[in-house]
Structure 1
Amino acid sequence: MTAEYQVKGAVAVITLNNPPVNGLGFATRSAVVAAMQTALNDDAIKAIVITGAGKAFSGGADIKEFNSPMALMEPSLHTVINMVENSTKPVIAAIHTVCMGGGLELALGCNYRVAAPGAQIALPEVKLGILPGAGGTQRLPRVLGLEMALNMIVSGTPVLSEKLVQTALFDALIDGDLMQGALAFANQVADVRPLPKVRDLKIDYPNYEAFLQFSRNTVKAMAGPFPAPLKCVEAVAAAVTKKFDDGMKFERSLFIELVQTTESKALRHAFFAERIAGKVPDVPADTPTRAIVTAAVIGAGTMGGGIAMNFANAGIPVKILEMKQEALDKGLATIRKNYENTMKKGKLTPEKCEQRIGLISGTLAYEDIAPADIVVEAVFEDMGVKEAVFKKLDEVMKQGAILASNTSTLDVDKIASFTKRPQDVIGTHFFSPANVMKLLEIVRGAKTGKDVLATTLALAKKLKKTGVVSGVCDGFIGNRMIEQYSRQAGFLLEEGCLPEQVDQAVEKFGFAMGPFRMADLAGNDIGWHIRKRRYIDKPEVTYSKTADLLCEMGRFGQKTGAGWYDYKAGDRKAYPAQVVNDMIVKHSAELRVERRKISDQEIVERLVYALVNEGAYILDEGIAMRASDIDMVYLTGYGFPLFRGGPMFYADTVGLLNVSMAMEKYAKGRNGSAWKPAPLLVKLAAEGKTFNG
């Protein structure tokens, strides 16, 4: 059932019932129209109440119908709102919990609105690169005033109902039983005429031209590459400057324009990619999960401390194990300092700060962590070290405990083989800083139990992470791809670039940070350690030696005050380093490579298409379940520009044939063997298809 119809005395109650958030899909819209018609045709009905079942009034459009013809099928949301607005009997929206997007637009079409305290009110469409398309930009300023409405529409941020009680949005805030209050209100206004309509309200804002121009300037400076925020300002401006019907037409034209933009398509792609990432075809939603009440972390370093903070932030007590008291004390002190800094910024109350610190304790004995429901190993990235840890964990941890490794590249199946319970072993690759970064790469071993995978995915949500499942391979999804990106960055140095040019080109493309600034932040010694392993395991794979030469100079990045760039004490800004640039030029001469001028376009194409090609291999091998999972890894873990939708989506927008042709061109250049195209890329390009079909 998508909308229930009940009669309560002289009041008809229409209850939206389309779980989980009563999305206004085609079936729900049709049911509302039918229910409205029934109420209008019944002479005994004097008023109509519209509300929502469960935990929402309505979250807006039904996301299952996004980007499909059903979203526009009649009755459209416009048709439903017009019917409600033109009702001959008063219609009252009884709002609770969540009232967003099309749900709020429907409520604005009603004659009256009553609300429960704590309801979240929002028009969040801007976050999908669009604007409210069913009258939100025209009606909300009429009830909230120009300034408040503009702020809500441009930001998309929810506001609690009690904060809006003094505005014309709500006719009453109802404490206690919402439905009883709504029915009483409906009976009070049943015979009141004329019926009030939001569209008839006037917007009174002195000197609105100056305010709107100020808003345009501010939003333009903040919106960056996204067109929707500025279009929101223009749509709201139309509410002030045009007649209502003309404003509605203008809003619709802007909505249609925005829906077609690459930026909106990228944001909508990311929205759905995040929601589907946690779905694993052979692990049903009702798979039993294990209780995670307590946790343990091995290692109190930067990564271990950050992982421990994640558990504490979610209210899960966590014990950190270290081998030496000095290392443990240092780790716990860093955690305290991190929380206190957050508190000083006003993002955490003193009570919450102490509460979270209190959930983290330390130990030097494996026996003390034995009762934990999950243990996350965060020790040095070396198989020998991991082996010693997992053999000990297998010995001491209680039966049913999940044994997780925070490895970023190593074979999780091999790690699992060090135990007698490989079904309990899983990879949980947190990204640094672990207490900040949103991505959690969840590595499913060949013998990982389905309940362990389901539990880890549920835990990711509890930790407020985006969990993306990867199969086992060297580097998994993210680091396996970034290696090809970094290889191309190194080759570019040998051929004519300097670190600053490469970083600036990629940052102009939209990356949060270029490859060399990123390496300095992570620590150049980490990549050096991995390359040394590669030289033994994969001698056929070539790398630029510039990064090794840099490490031989002791320039490991920000932590040593010198890497690809120079750094000053207390200053994270990267300053070009003449000694590094001289080393690069000298190395080119030793290789007898004639340095050439390289365009920003070539830099971006080589780095991004290297990601895309490796991503295609990963898909082909079944390491990633879907292209959108790869995009989520890069959007949430590697600073790929959100407005481009991730590497695989970006390749789709460029056209896979164009990607393939560019790769053929680069394959004819120096180190051309790095451009062996993935069979899946070749196939899809030839068929005119996309990764995200």
Structure 2
Amino acid sequence: MIYQGNAITVARDDDAVATLTLDHRDESVNTLSSTVVGELAEAVEALRAESGLEGLIVTSAKEAFVVGADITEFHGLFERGEDEIRTMLERVHGIFNAIEDLPFPTVTALNGLALGGGCELALTTDFRVMSDSAQLGLPETKLGILPGWGGCVRLPRLIGADNAIEWIAGGTQNKADEALRMGAVDAVVPGESLQEAARDLLDRARRGELDHEARRTEKRSPLKLDAIEQMMVFETAKGYVAGKAGPHYPAPIEAIKVIQKGAGETRERAQAIEAASFAKLAKTDVCYNLVGLFLNDQAVKKAGGRYAKQARPVEHAAVLGAGIMGGGIAYQSASKGTPILMKDIKAEAIDLGLKEARKLFAKQVERKKFTTEQMAERLTHIRPTLSYGDFGEVDLVVEAVVENPKVKGAVLAEAEAALGDDAILASNTSTISITRLAEHLTRPEQFCGMHFFNPVHRMPLVEVIRGEKTGDAAVAATVAYARQMGKTPIVVNDCPGFLVNRILFPYFGGFSALVAQGADFRRVDKVMERFGWPMGPAYLLDVVGMDTALHAGEVMAEGFPDRMGGLGGKDGGGVIPLMVEHERLGQKSGKGFYAYEEDRKGKPQKVEDDEALELVRQVAEGEQEFSDEAIIARMMVPLCLEAVRCLEDGIVGSAAEADMALIYGIGFPPFRGGALRYIDAMGAEAFVAQADELAAELGPLYAPTDGLREMARSGQRFHRDADPA
């Protein structure tokens, strides 16, 4: 044994070949934490000191190779100064360069995911062989940083600057065939042949059949691009990537600049450029929030996993109510391999649901996610029916009929009577109380909410709603089924609007008040889109549907009359009831705040409409100019306060879950981290002061809670990771 650590071992065989094995004893996956990096340094020194070695194979004993650096360490590291961050990077560069400079050929055997630092480690060796099921990538730009351990230097020299820009700026995970085509790896083999293939590559290099020194020279030298080629590659890429990334995500463009600045440099000088840019990005709010987002996502997935472990898998499901929503749910279930019955009382609704499912499958075939054969096979997992005949064999039923408590109650009671004793019943309702719907059932403990967001195939969030009598088994089974469907479930307690819609409607309330006071809704949309929302509030209301928003507003007004009493009610005045009165329901009717025209692909495109402008003037108190800052404050403060109330009321279990629900459910700007992280970034004291100022004019929707005031006094935060610099 050359070296023995907790995560790394280096052993020598009888043929003078060493194998460095990554296998962290205390973790289920390999990460390059600061401790593991320390072991790697010791292992490399031991290799350099060992006499008579003729080759090295780097491999992993885990299912994945290395999934990256230990992201849980990032906030603590990044809160330090740029000089300390650069020092850390230079240390790792020294270790990785030492691997690259070993006096014998080296090969990495990639048996699974090799991401971030794991990919960068693999790039240090002379050759790489990859399992056909493995994936390779540098996803750092998704965390607001860039590859900082040599990825911006080595990858362009291996696969070309244009290909490296695509991988790095896009943060993609690349399959084995793509990695081979690009030249990132030298061979792809079945998993069971990986070690044999790695040894074969190494032996060929030892015999001189493969020139490992030429490969090293290529990685240490400037890129082979002349000035004109550089300009064409980098300037074209900057324009394209800037359009895709948008103004709020600087890392992809910065990564291109790093590759460009380092293109004419040798290895060490290019690495210094990379380290300087990494350190600068690591200190940004965007990086801090995106790292927090990753950590929150992991926390949410762990919470879902704990529930799912308590449940047996759902082997057969059913959806009640076909049409677009039912077809979307059926597609999602079938596409992930869970057979599903799709029941309706009308054959035409069944036809519509099947048409929707076929359309979604066809799009996946177009994108090469499925073959035609796979699509045909998965479509057989959807079985349409007009009766309850086969419901006795179903494990879980999702009711997705019209959003009417009487209709839902009747359908749920019918379904329960047809189900087996252990089956779970769930309602896809966006507003109706689960506790109230349970009154129609004889087994309320086996009933919960399962709220999908529209469109089902795109929106990752599912709210699993626990009513007063819902049992743990029902929650666990529904969470497990949502995960089987590829969704991110978040368990919430019952209340009007549940979690996401309850938080969203004060945002709409802020919008309605702005319009009533004379703000131009088009300007409000533009300001909030520049803030980072995928669409402004007027446009969002058009997409949601004005009638849907009015109904939900009535539910909120009834549930929270003290602060949301003015948000709903057909007689309550305001712009939303006026739109409904004039049958301007949004995209569904072709007109709302905007008019809609189909583009060449048949998708609705918004255009300004003079009739809408004239209608809005009827509810406005003249015209008034608001600054960008005023619009943002009046929109964001009520939304954030409602998120605080949901956490304090126990509707959601953690700040992480609250923030992720908003990001996954309504497109809250990811780079801002969520509503509660937004308060953290501003500071609770400053946020409370801003809210109090608005509440004096606008009322209780803007009034901070007592709990938030206490947080402001004591300097507490919702997220207890490291403070941003």
If the length of structure 1 is used for normalisation, what is the TM-score?
A: 0.91
- In structure 2, the partner of 1:180 is 196
- In structure 2, the partner of 1:685 is 712
SS in 2 for 1:505: helix
- In structure 2, the partner of 1:377 is 399
- Of 456-465 and 519-528, deviating more is 456-465
SS in 1 for 2:401: coil
Q: Kindly report which structure 2 residues correspond to 1:186-335, keeping only aligned pairs within 5 A, or say none.
A: 186-190=202-206, 197=216, 199-206=219-226, 207-211=228-232, 212-225=234-247, 226-280=249-303, 284=306, 287-335=309-357
Given that 1:296 and 1:376 are in contact with CA atoms closer than 8 Å, whether structure 2 keeps it comes out as yes
Taking the aligned partners of 1:29 and 1:12, their CA distance within structure 2 comes to 19
Taking the aligned partners of 1:80 and 1:652, their CA distance within structure 2 comes to 37
SS in 2 for 1:429: strand
* AA of the residue aligned to 2:673: G
* AA of the residue aligned to 2:261: A
State the Cα deviation string for residues 337-366 of structure 1 (Å, max 9, x = none).
444455567665433333333222222212
Given that 1:307 and 1:434 are in contact with CA atoms closer than 8 Å, whether structure 2 keeps it comes out as yes
SS in 2 for 1:367: coil
- Of 468-477 and 340-349, deviating more is 340-349
Q: Kindly report which structure 2 residues correspond to 1:94-173, keeping only aligned pairs within 5 A, or say none.
A: 94-165=109-180, 169-173=184-188
Given that 2:138 and 2:173 are in contact with CA atoms closer than 8 Å, whether structure 1 keeps it comes out as yes
Name the CA shift for 1:421/1:15 in 2 (closer, same or farther; >3 Å): farther
SS in 1 for 2:41: helix
How far off its partner does 1:384 sit?
2.2
Name the CA shift for 1:286/1:73 in 2 (closer, same or farther; >3 Å): farther
Taking the aligned partners of 2:49 and 2:503, their CA distance within structure 1 comes to 63
Name which of 552, 559, 562 aligns with 2:591.
Answer: 562
State the Cα deviation string for residues 455-486 of structure 1 (Å, max 9, x = none).
33333333222222212211111000111111
SS in 2 for 1:529: helix
How far off its partner does 1:46 sit?
3.5
Name which of 454, 460, 475 aligns with 2:482.
Answer: 460
State the Cα deviation string for residues 496-525 of structure 1 (Å, max 9, x = none).
124323222212222111222222222211
How far off its partner does 1:251 sit?
0.4
Taking the aligned partners of 1:86 and 1:584, their CA distance within structure 2 comes to 70
* AA of the residue aligned to 1:584: V
How far off its partner does 1:171 sit?
4.8
- In structure 1, the partner of 2:38 is 30
- In structure 2, the partner of 1:82 is 97
* AA of the residue aligned to 1:607: M
- Of 600-609 and 415-424, deviating more is 415-424
- Of 27-36 and 12-21, deviating more is 27-36
- Of 344-353 and 395-404, deviating more is 344-353
Which aligned runs of 4 or more in structure 1 are off by greater than 6 angstroms?
A: 70-75, 191-194
* AA of the residue aligned to 2:136: I
How far off its partner does 1:231 sit?
1.0
Taking the aligned partners of 1:286 and 1:469, their CA distance within structure 2 comes to 12
How far off its partner does 1:94 sit?
1.9
Name which of 562, 566, 581 aligns with 1:542.
Answer: 566
Name which of 624, 629, 641 aligns with 2:652.
Answer: 624
Unaligned runs of 5+ in 1: none
How far off its partner does 1:586 sit?
2.9
Name the CA shift for 1:247/1:583 in 2 (closer, same or farther; >3 Å): same
How far off its partner does 1:376 sit?
0.4
Name the CA shift for 1:149/1:562 in 2 (closer, same or farther; >3 Å): closer
SS in 1 for 2:303: coil
SS in 2 for 1:692: coil
* AA of the residue aligned to 2:491: V
- In structure 2, the partner of 1:354 is 376
SS in 2 for 1:66: helix
- Of 157-166 and 378-387, deviating more is 157-166
Name the CA shift for 1:406/1:499 in 2 (closer, same or farther; >3 Å): same
Name which of 701, 706, 724 aligns with 1:674.
Answer: 701
Taking the aligned partners of 2:505 and 2:457, their CA distance within structure 1 comes to 24
Name the CA shift for 1:249/1:490 in 2 (closer, same or farther; >3 Å): same
Residue 611 of structure 1 pairs with residue 611 of structure 2: no
Given that 1:511 and 1:640 are in contact with CA atoms closer than 8 Å, whether structure 2 keeps it comes out as yes
Given that 1:555 and 1:563 are in contact with CA atoms closer than 8 Å, whether structure 2 keeps it comes out as yes
- In structure 2, the partner of 1:657 is 685
Given that 2:261 and 2:273 are in contact with CA atoms closer than 8 Å, whether structure 1 keeps it comes out as yes
Residue 47 of structure 1 pairs with residue 55 of structure 2: yes
Unaligned runs of 5+ in 2: 1-5, 79-84, 721-725
- Of 447-456 and 380-389, deviating more is 447-456
Name the CA shift for 1:327/1:351 in 2 (closer, same or farther; >3 Å): same
Taking the aligned partners of 2:539 and 2:469, their CA distance within structure 1 comes to 38
- In structure 1, the partner of 2:82 is none
Name the CA shift for 1:301/1:247 in 2 (closer, same or farther; >3 Å): same
Name the CA shift for 1:146/1:557 in 2 (closer, same or farther; >3 Å): closer
* Count of residue correspondences: 687
- In structure 1, the partner of 2:3 is none
Name the CA shift for 1:454/1:75 in 2 (closer, same or farther; >3 Å): farther
Given that 1:287 and 1:450 are in contact with CA atoms closer than 8 Å, whether structure 2 keeps it comes out as no
Taking the aligned partners of 2:105 and 2:445, their CA distance within structure 1 comes to 61
- In structure 2, the partner of 1:15 is 21
Given that 1:26 and 1:74 are in contact with CA atoms closer than 8 Å, whether structure 2 keeps it comes out as no
SS in 1 for 2:440: coil
SS in 1 for 2:301: coil
- Of 360-369 and 470-479, deviating more is 360-369
Taking the aligned partners of 2:439 and 2:302, their CA distance within structure 1 comes to 27
- In structure 2, the partner of 1:524 is 546
Residue 409 of structure 1 pairs with residue 431 of structure 2: yes
State the Cα deviation string for residues 514-538 of structure 1 (Å, max 9, x = none).
2222222222112222344556555
Taking the aligned partners of 1:143 and 1:399, their CA distance within structure 2 comes to 60
SS in 2 for 1:177: helix
- Of 430-439 and 181-190, deviating more is 181-190
SS in 1 for 2:426: strand
SS in 2 for 1:398: coil
- Of 437-446 and 403-412, deviating more is 437-446
Given that 2:511 and 2:537 are in contact with CA atoms closer than 8 Å, whether structure 1 keeps it comes out as yes
Given that 1:317 and 1:360 are in contact with CA atoms closer than 8 Å, whether structure 2 keeps it comes out as yes
- In structure 2, the partner of 1:5 is 10
Residue 481 of structure 1 pairs with residue 503 of structure 2: yes
How far off its partner does 1:335 sit?
3.2
SS in 1 for 2:390: helix
Name the CA shift for 1:463/1:537 in 2 (closer, same or farther; >3 Å): closer
Given that 1:46 and 1:191 are in contact with CA atoms closer than 8 Å, whether structure 2 keeps it comes out as no
- In structure 1, the partner of 2:524 is 502
Given that 2:10 and 2:20 are in contact with CA atoms closer than 8 Å, whether structure 1 keeps it comes out as yes
Given that 1:17 and 1:53 are in contact with CA atoms closer than 8 Å, whether structure 2 keeps it comes out as yes
Cα RMSD, aligned residues only: 2.9
Given that 1:427 and 1:444 are in contact with CA atoms closer than 8 Å, whether structure 2 keeps it comes out as yes
* AA of the residue aligned to 2:511: A
State the Cα deviation string for residues 373-411 of structure 1 (Å, max 9, x = none).
110011222322222222223222112222111111222
Residue 429 of structure 1 pairs with residue 451 of structure 2: yes
